[in-house]
């Protein structure tokens, strides 16, 4: 069958064309048996040895990529996996099962994985929810390590994952990425594209060393670590395809159109030629955009526009600098809190992470959002089922969770204040909706300052801001601006709450529309209020990184955008071509339209765009 189309999630950009290297699903099959009481201690030692070997191998991989700026996100991913390996909840939970039920070590580990996986599933935040995949990957790694002969030296490399096994049998050609726009030589006509159910950190390392053209994965989402690494390495990738590894056969010809999350299996000659032409056009577009890296972000009518980066981890700051970001508009602090199961990060650990991010940005401003998690019950593992029934998107999450635990919150605030000595730092508070919350947040911030003074610990100045992601906050924006130095619009949650659409629920996800008239009017109201009182307004949701919406946001008066680093140059190109004064009337007509999508579609960009090869190709999924 030719031209079979598989839809997934767009997480990077570019087009890859090549032959499929399909990896087996490698389901984690383990034996289930009971051990004799006298063998319990030996089983515990085998479990501990598996963790030790897995952690050692992670550190070895990190050493292999040490100093490579292109691998900063992969290094950060390995840090997260190491943190999960060191987390007592996984290892000690499995040990308790071995002692209490006398399960063999592998069975006990999978049992504990199931317990923790249910907790991750209950989290509302998509970034935290997708960390379950990281947990599954490291459990597979530990199991492989446990299967090593007991007489192997402690420094031995564990059995490779599915990609490593495939490479040992068939070495793919050394080739540049098929869509490279940096002047690299054209790749061979048929490089390999990896198709897998999932890809772990060791597999991702092969993309750094063996230069596959791209990859397709059944699992993953926008914030999965495979997606983050794909963007950082500029690899065309489509994830979340569900059944691609079953539907695609070894050596099938593939087109991976990463920008729109599309995979075409066995294209006919006409389709293949069309996408090769589009591939060349996109490469030219990227070369053009790359030349803008050091160009100041100023519109044609002289408006300076701040283009900032969203980051997940301190290691992501390297990619932000490489993209030309003027600073960090949103640093998510959740990574410090995930998978802790009651053992929350202390002040020193948090201070070190925030300090490292500030130092990495070399004096550019950094905005750090206080912890935004799904619910307190999801962290400690209690009452998970009840939590899911109560729909945590509207429950005890974000600032509500922080305010429910003032000492924990003050710990984070003290760490942030201390880190502010190392660079310009702003603190961003998520999901505020009540004036009483605002007063309490500011009161706790002042208490944190006083605690540092009393302890004679130095700290720096900070700006304070509020996330506008609840409709109530947008409608009360004037009162919010009385208390804060700036505000940031989180369009993902603002859209979700305004339209009553859970964007993680596939049954209603098609109703999620950030250009809905109600959403656009709330955004415009916040921008106008900020300009009226002379306080900065930043937009840090997915809309900020969509070049098709740049003109609209500029016409509404937005002067600060924060996005994934990979999106920054495309948005900058739009900014440089824009005349904000000329866009104002058009933006108002969009705002007043009953169907703004039609006006947006009709809007003629001054920039050349690479057309879709045919009308049947789907739109982007962001």
Q: Do the annotations mark residue 493 as ligand-binding? A: yes
Query: Would you call 523 exposed, middle or buried from its count of C-beta atoms within 10 A (0-12, 13-18, 19+)?
Result: buried
What's the angle, vertex CA 73, arms to CA 169 and CA 312, rounded to 5?
140
CA 544, CA 327: separation in Å to the nearest integer? 15
Q: Which of 225, 341, 422, 564 is catalytic?
A: 225
Query: Token digits for 262?
Result: 């599309």
Query: Token digits for 254?
Result: 């593939």
Longest alpha-carbon distance in the chain: 81
Closest CA to 435 of 481, 479, 494: 479
Closest CA to 395 of 105, 108, 123, 57: 123
Helix intervals (H) in 9-125: 40-64, 72-86, 88-101, 105-121
DSSP secondary structure letters along 181-233: -SSPPPPPSS-EEEEES---HHHHHHHHHH--SEEEESS--TTSHHHHHHHHH
In the block, which residue shows the tokens 């302890």?
455
| Residue 325 and residue 569 in contact, taking contact as beta carbons nearer than 8 Å | no
145 is catalytic: no
Strand partners, 304: 298
In the block, which residue shows the tokens 């890809």?
199
540 is catalytic: yes
| Residue 54 and residue 145 in contact, taking contact as beta carbons nearer than 8 Å | yes
Q: How far is CA 588 from the centre of its chain?
A: 33
| Residue 489 and residue 522 in contact, taking contact as beta carbons nearer than 8 Å | no
| Residue 515 and residue 595 in contact, taking contact as beta carbons nearer than 8 Å | no
| Residue 194 and residue 162 in contact, taking contact as beta carbons nearer than 8 Å | no
CA 568, CA 546: separation in Å to the nearest integer? 9
Query: Would you call 64 exposed, middle or buried from its count of C-beta atoms within 10 A (0-12, 13-18, 19+)?
Result: exposed
Q: Do the annotations mark residue 332 as ligand-binding? A: yes
Rg of the chain over Cα atoms, rounded to whole angstroms, equals 25
Q: Do the annotations mark residue 198 as ligand-binding? A: no
Q: Dihedral of CA 425/431/432/437: which sign?
A: negative
CA 454, CA 382: separation in Å to the nearest integer? 36
CA 600, CA 374: separation in Å to the nearest integer? 34
Neighbour tally for 33: CB within 10 Å: 10
Q: Do the annotations mark residue 503 as ligand-binding? A: yes
Strand partners, 22: 195
Query: Would you call 243 exposed, middle or buried from its count of C-beta atoms within 10 A (0-12, 13-18, 19+)?
Result: exposed
Helix, strand or coil, per DSSP, at residue 590? helix
β-sheet with 262-265: strand ranges across = 4-7, 262-265, 253-257, 15-22, 192-196, 214-217, 237-239, 9-10
CA 190, CA 253: separation in Å to the nearest integer? 8
Neighbour tally for 41: CB within 10 Å: 12
Q: Which of 145, 317, 538, 540 is catalytic?
A: 540
Q: Do the annotations mark residue 551 as ligand-binding? A: no
| Annotated binding-site ranges for phosphoenolpyruvate | 332, 369, 492-493, 503
Q: Catalytic site residues? A: 225, 540
| Annotated binding-site ranges for Mg(2+) | 469, 493
| Annotated binding-site ranges | 332, 369, 469, 492-493, 503
């Amino acid at each position: 069958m030719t031209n079979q189309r598989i839809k997934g999630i767009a997480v990077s950009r570019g087009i890859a064309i090549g032959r499929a290297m399909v990896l087996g699903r490698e389901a984690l099959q383990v034996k289930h048996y009971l051990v004799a009481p006298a063998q319990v201690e030996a089983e515990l030692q085998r479990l501990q040895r598996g963790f030790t070997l897995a952690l050692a191998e992670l550190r070895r991989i990190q050493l292999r990529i040490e100093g490579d700026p292109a691998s900063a996100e992969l290094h950060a991913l390995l840090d997260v996996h190491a943190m999960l390996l060191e987390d007592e909840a996984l290892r000690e939970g499995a040990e308790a099962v071995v002692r209490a039920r006398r399960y063999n070590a592998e069975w006990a580990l999978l049992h504990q994985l199931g317990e923790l996986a249910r907790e991750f599933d209950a989290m509302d935040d998509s970034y935290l929810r997708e960390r379950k995949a990281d947990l599954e990957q490291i459990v597979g790694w530990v199991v492989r390590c446990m299967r090593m002969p007991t007489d192997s030296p402690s420094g031995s490399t564990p059995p490779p994952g599915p990609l490593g096994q495939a490479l040992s049998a068939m070495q793919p050609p050394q080739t540049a990425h098929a869509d490279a726009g940096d002047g690299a030589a054209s790749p061979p006509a048929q490089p390999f594209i990896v198709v897998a159910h999932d890809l772990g950190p060791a597999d991702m390392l092969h993309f750094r060393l063996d230069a596959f053209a791209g990859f397709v994965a059944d699992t993953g989402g926008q914030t999965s670590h495979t997606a983050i690494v794909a963007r950082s390495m500029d690899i065309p990738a489509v994830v979340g395809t569900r059944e691609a590894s079953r539907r695609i056969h070894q050596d099938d010809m593939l087109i991976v159109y990463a920008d729109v999350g599309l995979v075409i299996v066995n294209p006919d000659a006409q389709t293949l030629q069309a996408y090769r032409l589009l591939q060349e056009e996109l490469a030219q577009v990227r070369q053009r955009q790359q030349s803008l890296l050091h160009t100041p972000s100023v519109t044609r009518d002289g408006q300076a526009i701040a283009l900032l980066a969203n980051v997940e981890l301190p290691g992501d700051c390297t990619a932000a600098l490489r993209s030309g970001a003027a600073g960090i508009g949103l640093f998510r602090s959740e990574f410090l809190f995930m998978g802790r199961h009651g053992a929350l990060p202390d002040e020193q650990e948090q201070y070190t992470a925030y300090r490292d991010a500030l130092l990495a940005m070399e004096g550019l401003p950094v905005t750090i959002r206080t912890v935004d998690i799904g619910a307190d019950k999801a962290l400690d593992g209690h009452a998970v089922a009840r939590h899911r029934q109560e729909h945590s998107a509207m429950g005890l999450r974000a600032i509500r969770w922080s305010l429910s635990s003032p000492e924990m919150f003050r710990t984070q605030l003290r760490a942030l204040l201390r880190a502010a000595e190392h660079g310009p730092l702003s603190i961003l508070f998520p999901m505020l909706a009540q004036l009483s919350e605002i007063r309490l947040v500011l009161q706790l911030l002042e208490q944190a300052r006083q605690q540092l003074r009393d302890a004679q610990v130095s700290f720096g100045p900070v700006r304070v801001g509020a996330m506008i992601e609840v409709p109530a906050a947008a409608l009360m924006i004037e009162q919010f601006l009385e208390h804060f130095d700036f505000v940031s619009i989180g369009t993902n949650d603002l859209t979700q709450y305004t339209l009553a659409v859970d964007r993680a629920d596939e049954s209603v996800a098609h109703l999620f529309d950030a250009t809905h008239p109600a959403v656009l009017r709330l955004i415009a109201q916040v921008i106008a209020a900020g300009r009226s009182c002379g306080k900065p307004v930043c937009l840090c949701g997915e809309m900020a990184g969509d070049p098709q919406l740049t003109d609209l946001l500029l016409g509404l008066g937005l002067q600060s955008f924060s996005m994934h680093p990979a999106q920054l140059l495309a948005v900058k190109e739009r900014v440089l071509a824009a005349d904000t004064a000329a866009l104002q009337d058009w933006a108002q007509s969009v705002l007043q339209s009953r169907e703004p999508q039609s006006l947006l579609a009709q809007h003629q960009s001054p920039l050349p765009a690479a057309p879709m090869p045919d009308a049947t190709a789907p739109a982007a999924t962001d």
